Amino acid sequence: MENMESISKILKDVLEDITPGKREKEELNKLSKTIIDGLYTIIQTEGLCDIVEDIVQVGSTARDTHLKNDYDIDIFIRFKRGVDREVLKETILNIGRRVIENLGGTSWIEYAEHPYVSGRIGKYDIDIVPCYKIGWNEGIISAVDRTPLHNQFVKDILKSKHLNNDIRLLKKFLKGVGIYGSDLKTKGFSGYLCELLVIHYGGFINTLKNAQKWKIGEKIVLDEIFQIYGIGRDYRFSDFDHPLVVYDPVDLKRNVAAALSKENFCRFIFYSRQFLENPSKEFFYNYHRKLTERVNSRDRGALLTLKIERDSNIVDDIIYPQMEKLQKSINKLLIENDFQILDCEIYATKDACYLSWEFLVWEFPNVKVRVGPPVFNRKVRDFVKKYPKHFIKDCRVCAYVERKYKDVYQLFEDIVSGKLKNRIKHPKYVSPVNGKVYRDIFVNRYMSIMRIK
Amino acid sequence: MENMESISKILKDVLEDITPGKREKEELNKLSKTIIDGLYTIIQTEGLCDIVEDIVQVGSTARDTHLKNDYDIDIFIRFKRGVDREVLKETILNIGRRVIENLGGTSWIEYAEHPYVSGRIGKYDIDIVPCYKIGWNEGIISAVDRTPLHNQFVKDILKSKHLNNDIRLLKKFLKGVGIYGSDLKTKGFSGYLCELLVIHYGGFINTLKNAQKWKIGEKIVLDEIFQIYGIGRDYRFSDFDHPLVVYDPVDLKRNVAAALSKENFCRFIFYSRQFLENPSKEFFYNYHRKLTERVNSRDRGALLTLKIERDSNIVDDIIYPQMEKLQKSINKLLIENDFQILDCEIYATKDACYLSWEFLVWEFPNVKVRVGPPVFNRKVRDFVKKYPKHFIKDCRVCAYVERKYKDVYQLFEDIVSGKLKNRIKHPKYVSPVNGKVYRDIFVNRYMSIMRIK
């Protein structure tokens, strides 16, 4: 009870801090409308009405679920099915850039699955993105075709259920604990996922409370889905091998939480419980950083950082999974060689990838026990021929052999020289060959700083 | 085939070396007879016929299965059931010592379950032991009552099956590979077990060959048992939880191989195979020592020896099991503290016990990961309260905590100071408190020497 009182005080304070003001919202909406009007004008004057279906503002600023000082304006131009992709591209580049520049802004082209226009007008970041108009539960044609439907779904519901502030709280909470964002670096919760969870559980605190009952593979189906699609509770939804499954009301074969890692799924459950038990504003403000600082104020094992040059044209969503893959494959090799890992991290700046390790055990005498076959086994013959320094232990033939790597730095030397090319993965944009090895340095992803032992 | 030829040459050579000569045997038998006659004379003149049943020579020298230069003469005086133990004791001390000293020898009293007379006449070691006369498959009254029956069983069989040399070969082979002897230090094969195995398999080489098919818990019943006891193949013999079970023809509820450790059971299988595949005289002569030397010509981890003073009155059969118990309990503590053991040994001299360790990992940074409950669990609350430096890994709450022992020497300091009295066993005659810890020293049981790194 006491907690609940203090919680409502905390949430009130946080909301005051994160809710955009009335003027902030009006100004943003006015600029959105101006851009959309500008786009329609060009479309009409240039006779493009037969290929363009409509123009919609999307994103959290469109649904009023954004945090204060978020000046992102996302405009989607929906083309009719059947319009050639080339036409899509030409049209968007032509009219998108013109509108932004007519309003005194600067613009450029960005590339995702297909190109779109990005720009800046004053403090506002504008994206003008082409897509195809599709219906509910219909297959997509281009990658972002579902976005306007997401927008419509959430907006419609929030008209009657006033959960906008609860959504803001969940987003801020997840930011605070470091798991907001569905990019491949963060592997956390997307904004849309936050909206669906708060809608499903009817509020921020209820979401946190319900998360306490989650288990790995938790499945969530919004009530609205049964109404929209006219299906019963016995409907067989698709199976996913993800820790959390939230069926997309716009496409039942899609899991909105697909990007969420098991680790972050567990972190959410954990931090939710921590917050409910010991409510504090701290959770909403850089909590993960404070936690990392506290956790790392301790004695360290041997630290090692591998720095690899990065082509700054390659985006995080490609770089991070490749760093991860490389670290995993190096970890396997480290474990094979008996080096015990206490902690490891990846972090990328604009022009470098950092893979860091902390070792509990990093050097050995030059001897290793190789465990061979049971004495009852025929393979004993070959084993003793191969390893002359054998002995019997636990009914098996074992042997002392020389250790390949006496310390962990030797192993990393062979990694950066390319000697171990066949033993570890060499991802295209994060190849360890010619990387640099630094001792006594650990790069922490959350703190984003280099630590010297 | 080639192996078989070389094997017979090897066996011939070894036999030449280990078989006692005709004169050696005659001389020994003559002395035995003299002693027995002497004993009978005293028994008659002193009117002890009503308590003594008979006198028998036992042991391998009595059955002609001994190795050359074995000058042990074992004489058993069998008393009638019902004779008081005190009378047994007095009688044996009185007449035993007298006979040896009449023959110009020296004698003294030894203590096992009950006292017996030991003595020396020239190069001969004489034991004169009292026991009760019991029948086959009858319960024993004193500990050694079965010995004369073992003697009779083996002698009777060897009259028709001439396997004496094969038994000698097996004994010598087991000595060579370091597993001959059923004492609690060696935990190997007794002489009687060698005799039964060779009788069962019909020879030395056949024993080695058949051992290749052994599995843990192997059960051996001699054909003679079925004849003697008139039982069928479906007879339910007693169960034993030993690696090798050889039913004693003299007492079916006894396993002759009870003292054999699993490790030595496996060693026998292994060395047998090694010998059959690469026959060499080497196996019969200090092979275990050569092997130990070869195996230990390698880089060493951190060495540590704990020296504990020994009361020289306490026999090996008590000291070794206690050393073993202590080492096992220290090993448990070492593993709990993450120190990785590469090798460990025990060895006792007349006045000291040595417990040695070789460590693969012996020092750490002052940090340890404590793995806590799954995030889904109620116990999370207490864990995070207790350990503030917590984090989430593999769906569990974990925490960094300080390490109790940063290096292995600290831990041993606490052992010898008595601080860890509640954490490890303190056997009566091998207490680590006030023991001395030596770095860089390892005492090898087979080589019986101190090794400095």
Residue A302 near residue A362 (C-beta atoms within 8 A): yes
Annotated binding site of A for ATP: 60, 63, 150, 171, 180
The structural domain count of chain A equals 4
Partners of residue B402 in chain A, C-beta under 8 Å: 298-299
Nearest CB neighbour to A299, from listed B216, B366, B395: B366
Is residue B3 situated within a structural domain?
no
Residue (of B226, B221, B264, B223) closest to B246 by Cα position: B221
| Contact between chains at A376 and B215 (C-beta distance less than 8 A) | yes
Alpha carbon distance B285, B278 (integer Å): 15
Is residue A2 situated within a structural domain?
no
Among the candidates A249, A284, A319, a domain finishes at A284
Tokens of B374: 């799954």
Is residue A290 situated within a structural domain?
no
| Contact between chains at B376 and A215 (C-beta distance less than 8 A) | yes
Q: What is the pLDDT of residues B346-365, one digit of tens each?
A: 999 999 999 999 999 999 99
Beta bridge partners, B56, equal B76
| Contact between chains at A266 and B400 (C-beta distance less than 8 A) | no
Q: What is the pLDDT of residue A136?
A: 87
Is residue B40 situated within a structural domain?
yes
Q: What is the pLDDT of residue A292?
A: 86
Q: What angle do CA A372, A378, A381 make, to 5 degrees?
A: 65
Residue B209 and residue B266 in one domain: yes
Residue A62 near residue A195 (C-beta atoms within 8 A): no
Q: What is the pLDDT of residue B4?
A: 67
Hey, what amino acid is at B7? Answer: I
Residue A234 sits in a domain of what CATH number?
1.10.1410.30
Alpha carbon distance A324, A342 (integer Å): 17
Q: What angle do CA A253, A254, A256 make, to 5 degrees?
A: 150
Residue B349 and residue B394 in one domain: no
Is residue A75 situated within a structural domain?
yes
Q: Is the pLDDT of residue B249 over 90?
A: yes
Residue B39 sits in a domain of what CATH number?
3.30.460.10
Residue (of B434, B296, B441) closest to B356 by Cα position: B441
The nearest alpha carbon in chain A to B302 belongs to A365
Distances A238 to A245, A252, A398, B406 between C-alpha atoms, Å: 10, 8, 50, 52
Alpha carbon distance B139, B155 (integer Å): 22
Q: Phi and psi (nearest 5°) for B388?
A: -65, -25
Residue B322 and residue B438 in one domain: yes
Residue B321 and residue B445 in one domain: yes
Question: Residues A41-45: contacts with CB within 8 Å, 24+ apart?
Answer: A42/A95, A42/A98, A42/A99, A43/A95
Alpha carbon distance A253, A237 (integer Å): 8
Domain with A27, as residue range(s), is 21-147
The nearest alpha carbon in chain A to B358 belongs to A365
Tokens of A236: 């067989």
Q: Is the pLDDT of residue B138 over 90?
A: no
Residue B174 and residue B223 in one domain: yes
Alpha carbon distance B96, A355 (integer Å): 82
Distances B200 to A358, A410, A445, B167, B241 between C-alpha atoms, Å: 60, 57, 71, 11, 21
Give the distance from CA A8 to its chain's centroid: 30
Q: Residue B179's pLDDT band (boundaries 50, 70, 90)?
A: very high
Residue B33 and residue B74 in one domain: yes
Residue A129 and residue A64 in one domain: yes
Please tell me the least confidently modeled range out of A100-104, B187-191, B342-346, B446-450. Answer: B446-450
The four Cα atoms B76, B82, B85, B88 give a dihedral, to 10 degrees, of -40
Please tell me the least confidently modeled range out of A150-164, B208-222, B282-296. Answer: B282-296
Residue B147 near residue B153 (C-beta atoms within 8 A): no
Residue B411 sits in a domain of what CATH number?
3.30.70.590
The nearest alpha carbon in chain A to B214 belongs to A376
Q: Is the pLDDT of residue B451 over 90?
A: no
Q: What is the pLDDT of residue B191?
A: 97
Is residue B376 situated within a structural domain?
yes
| Contact between chains at B375 and A295 (C-beta distance less than 8 A) | no
Burial pattern B324-358, b for ≥16 Cβ within 10 A else e, equals: bebbebbbebbeebbbbbbbbbbbbeeeebbbbbb
Q: Which residues contact B186 (CB under 8 A, 6 or more apart)?
A: B178, B179, B180, B264
Q: What is the pLDDT of residue B113?
A: 81
Tokens of B125: 């070691």
Q: What is the pLDDT of residue A453?
A: 42
Q: Which residues contact A413 (CB under 8 A, 6 or more apart)?
A: A437
Residue A392 and residue A360 in one domain: no
Q: Is the pLDDT of residue B430 over 70?
A: yes
Q: What is the pLDDT of residue A16?
A: 97
Q: What is the pLDDT of residue A124?
A: 97
Is residue B178 situated within a structural domain?
yes
| Contact between chains at A400 and B295 (C-beta distance less than 8 A) | yes
The nearest alpha carbon in chain A to B367 belongs to A299
- Alpha helix (H) ranges present in B55-182? 60-63, 85-102, 147-160, 164-176
Alpha carbon distance B77, B128 (integer Å): 7
Nearest CB neighbour to B389, from listed A269, A295, A369: A295
Residue A89 and residue A217 in one domain: no
Partners of residue A371 in chain B, C-beta under 8 Å: none
Q: Residue B452's pLDDT band (boundaries 50, 70, 90)?
A: very low
Annotated binding site of B: 60, 63, 72, 74, 127, 150, 171, 180
B161-183 mean pLDDT? 96
Residue B303 and residue B448 in one domain: yes
| Contact between chains at B299 and A342 (C-beta distance less than 8 A) | no
pLDDT tens series, chain A, 453 aa? 456 669 999 999 999 999 999 999 999 999 999 999 999 999 999 999 999 999 999 999 999 999 999 999 999 999 999 999 999 999 998 899 999 999 999 999 998 888 999 999 999 999 999 999 999 888 899 989 999 999 999 999 999 999 999 999 999 999 999 999 999 999 999 999 999 999 999 999 999 999 999 999 999 999 999 999 999 999 999 999 999 999 999 999 999 999 999 999 999 999 999 999 999 999 999 898 888 888 888 999 999 999 999 999 999 999 999 999 999 999 999 999 999 999 999 999 999 999 999 999 999 999 999 999 999 998 999 999 999 999 999 999 999 999 999 999 999 999 999 999 999 999 999 999 989 999 989 988 765 555 544
Distances B62 to A224, B101, B154 between C-alpha atoms, Å: 97, 22, 10
To test the contact with chain B by mutation, choose from A210, A265, A270, A280 the residue with the greatest count of B C-beta atoms within 10 A, namely A270
Strands in A340-448 per DSSP E: 340-348, 352-361, 368-374, 390-393, 396-401, 436-439, 441-444
Is residue A6 situated within a structural domain?
no
Strands in B276-339 per DSSP E: 302-309
| Contact between chains at A384 and B342 (C-beta distance less than 8 A) | no
Residue B356 near residue B303 (C-beta atoms within 8 A): yes
Residue A423 and residue A446 in one domain: yes
Residue A411 and residue A392 in one domain: no
Residue B68 near residue B18 (C-beta atoms within 8 A): yes
